[in-house]
Structure 1
Amino acid sequence: MSSPHPVRATAEGRRLAEIADGVAWRRWGPYLGERQWGTVREDYSAEGDAWGSFPHDHARSRAYRWGEDGLAGFCDDQQRWCLGVALWNGRDPILKERLFGLANGEGNHGEDVKEVYHYADATPTHSYNRFVYRYPLAAFPYAELTAVNARRGRDEPEYELPDTGVLEGGAFVDVTVEYAKAGPEDLLMRVSLRNAGAAPARLHVLPQLWARNTWSWAGDAERPSAGRTSMEAASAKRAWISPASDGSVLAQRPEMPARRLSIDRAVPWRFTENDTNRPLLFGEEAEGPFKDGINALVVEGREDAVTGSGSKVAAHAVLTLPPGGEAVLRLRFRPAADAARPFADFDATMGLRRHEADAFFAALQEGIADPAARAVHRQAVAGLLWSKQVYIFDVPVWLKGDPVNPPPPASRRRGRNADWEHLTNADVILMPDKWEYPWYAAWDLAFHCVAMAPVDGAFAKDQLLLLLRPWYQHPNGQLPAYEWNFGDVNPPVHAWAAFRVFEIDRATTGVADTAFLERILHKLMLNFTWWVNQKDAGGRNIFQGGFLGLDNIGPFNRSEPVPDGGIIDQADGTAWMAMYALNLLRIALELAQVNRAYEDIATKFFEHFMAIAGAMAHIGADGVSLWDDADGFFYDTLRQPDGHHVPLRLRSMVGLIPIFAVEVLDESVFAKLPDFTRRLRWLLKFRPELAALVSRWNERGEGERHLLSLLRGSRLKRLLRRALSETEFLSDFGLRSLSKAHGAEPFILDRGGARYTVEYTPGESTSGLFGGNSNWRGPVWMPLNFLLIDALRQFHSYYGPEFTVECPVGSGTMLDLGEVADELARRLARLFVGEGGGRPAALARAAARGGVVEKHGLFHEYFHGDTGEGLGASHQTGWTALVANLLMRRAP
């Protein structure tokens, strides 16, 4: 076994180790959502219009059924108590309690958050977290942002907060919210404010504590009267917060010990209830106070909107900051039994946790010499850690409805997620983006875990196992795809991620967690079988899959019936399954070295891979190949009802995905596993037509290794000639998702009386497919670039330095495949780490709009195929955090 990584010797590393011994360092964290409104969970409409049925304008007044959201929030792992901050500049129509953005139908490129904020720092146990937010001192331009984006078309850029001019001249306050832990249950909250303008700024700052509403849905919780104590309220099955004699507030709810919130100054506490304002929203009679009571008091001056105790409270500080002036509020939320003075050790503890965070990252970044790269790495990890969210969704209850509310419409039983009645989720999960994608997605989560593994391998492993638990995985073996349609299909990358996480964890801890691999393998075998049974329409080892997370990459929606009939045999769907078989083979071989019983399973997946490889190369009854030898590329093929096949000669990332299906096996594997070796050699001897396809099995490669791949060396070189051409896929910032050649020569398909056109679109989507909120017709996407780099390094470990390709094509520079992988990694890193002191290309738009990003960058969903400008969801540190892995790998 290898030696443990130096991070384990740091204070934060020791806390991570203590979690395995039962110390609850992860119980509290940045798990509060950033957008609960406009989600499927909160949608009870007949039409399934999640955005319209619960809009932003309802969020301040309407209690959520399945979760909570807030600004710079922290909560426990069951989201029973939530902390956050609210702000008011004296001009806004509402309190700033949550991030504002446009619904999917409002933005000219789909849903879009319209705020300036950054995840500045975080540690894996959340012993220290920092969030920064820029709040305008002018009235927040809600109406302007909505109206201007509504007028803009898909061919125009999004209209952002800096474009409105409200931040010009420093007319804003920078708000920094820090959390630190004195112990697993002892939370310190520090709110720092800096007036960046030339005039004094008067600001209402309201740190808030509230309970998730769990009492309004069953009808068995009595609302306590104003004179009742919090203990009596707790016995009535409600959370309750009430003033304490020492100036703090006492927070209680039935299922956990009482807690106390203290603040370091004498300010009034404002209480209300986390209950829906039914008179305002629905014209019904109901007794207040309501969720929007503090908003009504501060903004409207309504003293009757608040009360003397409740399930939501804010400490109301009114501050005047001189030009350039600063102010600090300190709060502590801890068990009520702790009688020590709350602020005696506050500053020392906060400072110590910052220092320990520095030490943790210094150890983690060992070998990254460039300070700019270290800063990017740290912020990528911070964004990943801040993107954890408590995700609660009980689909059976959601389908059936709650006793005290009207039953859901009958259409719900025939609509979205109706076939997922087993799914009951209440866990902390890594989100793709806590505002634009505040729900888990299967393939996103796999990439998140690979990015998380060097930081917190135990959490990464737990996340991968979570989706395989019986209350997530469908009884038929399918994994839930994403909240908008759990029954859709994402690329099957779970096994790839599991083995990569296993390898990273082994290198970090010095221990091979084969028990984790066993648990993964058994459940993924069910999922693999589901794929074979459900997505191979002809039983030919050619797979369909659907859109496979690539949204609008094709001429039409691949998840819907083909216009005028037919079936699409997918090059990417088939390649993903070949990769899946190899990933499961690799896991089985790892386990077989500990338990020989897994040799049979390894043999099974070797045979599956061989069958798929043969099918992709037209060994089958219809003799049709997904490989086009004239073009040197893989294409989807449209299989028409009359049996004819029409290749869809669209050069996209779909045709490069077959490169991902590669595995290199050491000669030692064959020596240790004779049964597997015997079957493998029999198959290769008696099925020479298959053996000839799988990259020269009869020759040993560099270091006596053996290669399993869909591609022989000649085909790999032909594919890479497309991929590494700057007139096709290769950009200064990684590989584009569509060949640039389709800018001059769009792909055109006439079908069913309609014409379908796909042209190179390097920036935002101009297609309405999937709402137009993401684009695979040209931009650079981090996850598939990462997979290609991973695959090229596998190929290089077999072929060695003698196997070279021209990179870029036409340059005359010959590189081996390891050097090509390094070059692609360098180009991707250029998105974030500028060369020669320049500003990284991904921040170009922000720089042109006033430089509001400053030292904190953004981690976008995807990037412009020519300029590298960040596009799509702006805080998708989920899979874009993979840049951290690339920076660590590139370190000398």
Structure 2
Amino acid sequence: MATAEDGRLTEANTGTAPWRRWGPYLSDRQWGTVREDTSPGGDAWDSFPHDHARSRAYGWGEDGLLGISDDSQQLCFALALWNEADPIIKERLFGLTNSEGNHGEDVKEYYFYQDSTPTHSWMKGLYKYPQAAYPYEDLLRTNAARGKQEPEYELVDTGIFDDQRYFDVEVVYAKAGPEDVLVQVTATNRGPDPAALHLLPTLWLRNTWSGDEQAPRPRLTADPASRQVLVDCPDLGPYRLIWEGDVDVLATENESNWARLAGGTNPTPYVKDGINDAVVTGRPETVDPGLTGTKIALRRRAVVGAGESVTMRLRLTTDAPRSGLGEDVDQVLTTRRQEADEFYTSITPPTVGAEPARVMRQALAGMLWSKQFYCYDLDRWLSQRGVHPLRDEAGLDHRNARWFHMVCGDIISMPDCWEYPWFAAWDLAFHTMSLAMVDTTFARDQLQLLLGEHYLHPSGQIPAYEWNFSDVNPPVHALATLFSHVQAVDTGAEDDHAFLSDTFAKLALNFTWWVNRKDVNGANTFEGGFLGLDNIAVFDRSAAQLPTGGRLEQADGTAWMALYCQSMLELSLELARTDPGYEGTALKYLEHFLYICAAMERGDGMWDEEDGFFYDQLRLPDGSGERLRVRSMVGLVPLCAVTVVPAESFGVLDDRLAGFMRRHPDLLGQISDPLLPGVGNRRILTLLDEDRLRSVLGYLLDEEEFLSPHGVRALSRFHRDHPFAMEVQGQQFGVGYLPGESDSGMFGGNSNWRGPVWMPVNFMIIRALLQYYLYYGDDFTVELPTGSGQQHTLFEVAADLADRLVSIFVPDEGGRRPVFGGVELFQTDPHWRDNLLFYEYFHGDDGAGIGASHQTGWTGLVAKLVQLFGTIDAATVLGDTRTHPSTTLFRRDVG
């Protein structure tokens, strides 16, 4: 049954009502980004540090604490706080830069995205604000003194939360209409004594006028008599922010304080940090007595008793309620929460327990909160720095200079709003697979965005990520497109064929870029950049030249391209259902898949017969090769290059494929015959025949190799006692098993590596196991774990791996969540233990969260695992007779 939230999604998708106009599009961090970097050397972190953020107007976006903005980020709203002890008001999240942390950049705050509907009709977030002075210097000094072998020094380690001396600050947003947002801020004193708190909800306008004399100057004007802030912004319409109760109105301009930053002259006496100075230093002259400007805060001071709460309520709207906030406030807040509950109940299988359901809902909330406004006009950005490649030949060497065509001003799903407040292409492909659970249209639009003319390079390359758009990510967008299409078909989308044909054409350009640019010798073996596996590589894969002077034929890069062929084949077959002209295209991708299979066998090959595993091949300048025998995800990615196709879909190619194979019998190599039917008369395309499949699965399911209690490790634990090492020109290179952070600075040294248990590749492995199960059925069994003598079908193995991944977040028999590791506050305190964090990766032995703590982007895939294995069983999978059984994992209603 359709819920109220489903109705809002329909209205948004049909253009009836702009329910997505307002959302959590305000970044958690704009400082330290490439967009804001003005340094000649390209050191973004040092060019715009946290210390400058309160005083310096941004050029390309805004940040704030649990805030919202409109979808073009002209008008912003966020929370600010002051505890009468901090040296500055808390307007944004603090963290260490890459050079300051012993394991790189790391946010040093505790905040949680607790809930959100896809239209953001209901949102809830929580921030933990200490009552003592925030320990900025302690965090900087102590982390700087620690080496890479030591753990990070976290905020909880400083003792600032001892005796519960902090405020729980909860922010709730509830929409009465598409452009009518109710805001409720509740601060609760968890400590034993009364404590002072200043609540400073702040409204401001993004600075779009500096440097452009022709740009219109918007204004905010406060009217204390009517308790309203009026917004005069030509492109937005007549918004107003209404408040309840008595407040102090503090108004200033969103302009840089150059006097503080550089000893310069300010354009106005009222600058960006004027509110901060008025509150902290008590200087009334730093705010405008006329109560007008481009940034206004509403201050309410309260002394909050132990265990007591203080609440502020506001309304941001284009409508003027008859009296104050309006009589509907309580009703709207209650109704929107109930509707959110109904929406999540509708997509959560009834067999799922309370704790996995919590994991699913909070994971999706984190993903929805991570939708951000991303503004970056490369042509203008390069011109401002005098390095535009069309005007200066030397400009070609500048960061991202070859991407001057890019013009970005869109809402995009980010990996992490503090650590990674910029899109990353392959992350985004995984994001869409989970976001489609709640908003199929938004997920599909995200894929089209990166393939559109404002992003896709004229050469066909997809931009990788802000620090280096020219780097190379695994090509998973065709697979994500297929999943998005299947979701849309399942939900009755009528215009999906237009989406599919347009997207397919752009993907074909990208596929050709890969073939022309990343297959150096035209031999169908591929070299990407780091391809997401930087921490487990012997060499820096993104380096212009390897230390050996040779090149790397990557088992994973080549396998990703095999999967690309498979996905494009399936998309071609789907398009061929209404346009038979695509049959020839389908055959083209099938033939290319076979070429890649054969290339992996050529010469010494990437398959090691003695070990029974895939390895990268180091090709030296003299043409000789050497396998890099590191047992890692590099050798597991070929397992993921598998697709199952129904005979009726494949049948249009049977005769032509049979003729092709008769002409080129050597192309089959060691793969399964694609014409040989399996269970249900299905056909399989895979890099592994049955013997090789069993060999790789033997490693995958071995607890002394890849299988951990909480998923599949990125690097085999075999290398704990047997580290890989090699010497090149007197220089030592090696890889050893590290269950947590890296001890190397080779790739920047940050902790956010694709380390031991990594959700997206685990997800791909589970998908692959279901594909093999669709083909081999119940007769194919393996030991789980290896050596146990306990035989299981591949469906059972897939379900077991999903359980291991979900168990990271679920309390164990002792009531402890593995994700929180040894942090007792999170494990035992009732105000902490149910607020989940979705880290970038997880400790290979105990499942503790490591790296970016709000990387809900692809770690949010756990939500799909909860939903899927609460819905299907083995019989459901084998009985799926629909067009794309390879996408069984991603259907909304399986079976």
Query: What range describes the TM-score normalised by the shorter chain of this pair?
Result: over 0.9
What secondary structure is seen at the aligned counterpart in 1 of 2:421? coil
Q: Do the aligned partners of 1:454 and 1:505 also contact (CA within 8 Å) in 2?
A: no
What secondary structure is seen at the aligned counterpart in 2 of 1:313? strand
Query: AA paired with 2:272?
Result: K
Q: Is the aligned partner of 1:809 residue 2:786?
A: yes
2:600 counterpart (611, 616, 624): 616
What secondary structure is seen at the aligned counterpart in 2 of 1:889? helix
Cα distance between partner residues in 2 of 1:423 and 1:575:
30
Q: Do the aligned partners of 2:598 and 2:668 also contact (CA within 8 Å) in 1?
A: no
User: Which residue of 2 is the match for residue 800 of structure 1?
Assistant: 777
State how 1:421-820 maps to structure 2 within 5 Å: 421-509=404-492, 513-560=496-543, 561-618=545-602, 623-671=603-651, 673=652, 676-691=653-668, 693-774=670-751, 779-820=756-797
Give TM-score, length-normalised by structure 1.
Answer: 0.94
Tell me the CA shift for residue 776 of structure 1.
5.5
User: Which residue of 2 is the match for residue 335 of structure 1?
Assistant: 318
Q: Is the aligned partner of 1:171 residue 2:171?
A: no
Q: What do the CA deviations read for 1:400-457 (whole angstroms, capped 9, x no partner)?
A: 1189xxxx99976522101100011000000000000000000000010001011100
Q: What do the CA deviations read for 1:159-204 (whole angstroms, capped 9, x no partner)?
A: 1111101111110000000001000000111001100011001101
Seen in structure 2, the aligned counterparts of structure 1 residues 244 and 831 have a Cα distance that, compared at 3 Å, is same
What secondary structure is seen at the aligned counterpart in 2 of 1:834? coil
Cα distance between partner residues in 2 of 1:219 and 1:457:
42
1:115 counterpart (109, 117, 121): 109
Q: Is the aligned partner of 1:16 residue 2:5?
A: no
Query: AA paired with 2:108?
Result: K
Seen in structure 2, the aligned counterparts of structure 1 residues 340 and 595 have a Cα distance that, compared at 3 Å, is farther
User: Which residue of 2 is the match for residue 397 of structure 1?
Assistant: 380
Cα distance between partner residues in 1 of 2:351 and 2:369:
23
Q: Do the aligned partners of 1:738 and 1:777 also contact (CA within 8 Å) in 2?
A: no
Query: AA paired with 1:567?
Result: R
Measured on the aligned residues, the alpha-carbon RMSD in Å equals: 1.7
Tell me the CA shift for residue 837 of structure 1.
5.8
Q: Is the aligned partner of 1:77 residue 2:71?
A: yes
User: Which residue of 2 is the match for residue 95 of structure 1?
Assistant: 89
Cα distance between partner residues in 2 of 1:666 and 1:600:
18
Q: Do the aligned partners of 1:431 and 1:437 also contact (CA within 8 Å) in 2?
A: yes
User: Which residue of 2 is the match for residue 62 of structure 1?
Assistant: 56
Deviates more, 1:501-510 or 1:446-455: 501-510
Q: Do the aligned partners of 1:368 and 1:374 also contact (CA within 8 Å) in 2?
A: no
Query: AA paired with 2:567?
Result: N
2:145 counterpart (127, 132, 151): 151
Tell me the CA shift for residue 264 of structure 1.
0.8
Query: AA paired with 2:701?
Result: L
Q: Is the aligned partner of 1:879 residue 2:863?
A: no
Tell me the CA shift for residue 243 of structure 1.
2.6
What secondary structure is seen at the aligned counterpart in 2 of 1:728? coil
Cα distance between partner residues in 2 of 1:736 and 1:105:
28
Tell me the CA shift for residue 498 of structure 1.
1.2
Q: Do the aligned partners of 1:693 and 1:712 also contact (CA within 8 Å) in 2?
A: yes
Deviates more, 1:767-776 or 1:658-667: 767-776
Q: What do the CA deviations read for 1:330-384 (whole angstroms, capped 9, x no partner)?
A: 0001115665642311111011100100000111103343001111111001000
What secondary structure is seen at the aligned counterpart in 2 of 1:749? strand
Q: Where in structure 1 are there 5+ consecutive unaligned residues?
A: 1-5, 222-235
User: Which residue of 2 is the match for residue 832 of structure 1?
Assistant: 809
User: Which residue of 2 is the match for residue 230 of structure 1?
Assistant: none
Q: Do the aligned partners of 1:289 and 1:306 also contact (CA within 8 Å) in 2?
A: yes
Q: What do the CA deviations read for 1:527-579 (whole angstroms, capped 9, x no partner)?
A: 00000000001110001112112222111201111003000110011000000
Query: AA paired with 1:381?
Result: L
Tell me the CA shift for residue 851 of structure 1.
4.5
Seen in structure 2, the aligned counterparts of structure 1 residues 665 and 423 have a Cα distance that, compared at 3 Å, is same
Query: AA paired with 1:535?
Result: K
Q: Do the aligned partners of 1:162 and 1:849 also contact (CA within 8 Å) in 2?
A: no
Q: Do the aligned partners of 1:579 and 1:662 also contact (CA within 8 Å) in 2?
A: yes
Cα distance between partner residues in 1 of 2:814 and 2:242:
45
Cα distance between partner residues in 2 of 1:544 and 1:831:
33
What secondary structure is seen at the aligned counterpart in 2 of 1:772? coil
What secondary structure is seen at the aligned counterpart in 1 of 2:373? strand
Q: Do the aligned partners of 2:606 and 2:614 also contact (CA within 8 Å) in 1?
A: yes
User: Which residue of 1 is the match for residue 878 of structure 2?
Assistant: none
Query: AA paired with 1:732?
Result: P
Deviates more, 1:558-567 or 1:411-420: 411-420
Cα distance between partner residues in 1 of 2:218 and 2:328:
33
User: Which residue of 2 is the match for residue 250 of structure 1?
Assistant: 230
User: Which residue of 2 is the match for residue 316 of structure 1?
Assistant: 299
Query: AA paired with 2:284?
Result: E
Q: Where in structure 2 are there 5+ consecutive unaligned residues?
A: 872-895
User: Which residue of 2 is the match for residue 227 of structure 1?
Assistant: none
User: Which residue of 2 is the match for residue 229 of structure 1?
Assistant: none
What secondary structure is seen at the aligned counterpart in 2 of 1:72? strand
What secondary structure is seen at the aligned counterpart in 2 of 1:812? coil
Q: Is the aligned partner of 1:365 residue 2:348?
A: yes
